[in-house]
Amino acid sequence: MHKTIDFPNLGIHLKNVGNHISIGGFDIAFYGIIIGLGILAGILIAAAEAKRTKQNSETYFDLTLYAVVFAIIGARAYYVVFSWNMYKNDLKSILNIREGGLAIYGGVIAAVITVVVFAKVKKLSAAVLFDTASLGLVAGQMIGRWGNFFNREAFGEYTNGLFAMKLPTDAVRPSDITDLMRRHMQYKNGTSYIQVHPTFLYESLWCLMVLFIMLLYRRHKKFNGEVFLVYLFGYGLGRVWIEGLRTDQLLFPGTSIPVSQVLAGALVIVSASLIIFWHIRQKRMENEQVVQEKEQNNRENY
């Protein structure tokens, strides 16, 4: 397998990008290392935010122990369910996640359920937990997407744009190569190459922007849970666009409809609606309070 990864229009040529390191004869996938770094960064950011907001940061270390396990299970289950043809004849391969195959939204759904249960058991505010943990979540996603870089996966359709990424075809899954890519396939020294959108890079940069917006917004939130809704809206908005570029989309069975794109669009609508609803509700309550205070003052003056 050829190990080059090039960004020709940026003048970047990487000659030897492996997907693992070997220690004592055991291969450790970069995918797993990157995911681990993303989880660590997420924990530290959530703990720092907890300290800033006078919460017990230990709560988030405890929460992470449960959330990470169930998020990985959820992410894998989501991927396997919508890629069943890849696994139905080799059920053991379901357990092999070292080569990828984790769907972000499956992990998010599982993590959300875990937070709700954790909050109920610990008698804490789920909304506060969501606001704090979502900062770490989007940071983890931003870092974790680079695991796809080493695996040469989660890329988009053919492009010759500024960020176009060139990959040798023997390093990618044949099912991810489209007819358009084949029509623009390049050949050099007997090796064929495709040139694609690096959607992992787009999503990583998008998550960085969402994180920045959340960090600014958190000081101006009007209700607990609002920062998490901003995350759902911001990340979902980017995912609707990015998912449309990818060639490895998970589809509803028997259709050509991308599952994650539909889910992302639905979350954008729901989260925006909830933010607007709560702002209107709070404004109405503030106006009612002003009216009540005026009536009270009038009665006192009378």
- Distance between start and end Cα atoms, the chain: 89
Distance CA 299, CA 88 (A): 75
For 128, residues 6+ apart whose C-beta sits below 8 A from its C-beta are: 53, 55, 224, 225
Distance CA 83, CA 129 (A): 32
What amino acid occupies position 4?
T
Element (H, E) at 212: helix 199-217
For residue 36 the two structure tokens come to 């681990």
Q: Is 145 annotated as a binding residue?
A: yes
For residue 197 the two structure tokens come to 């959108």
CB 223 within 8 A of CB 275: no
Which residue positions form the known binding site? 145
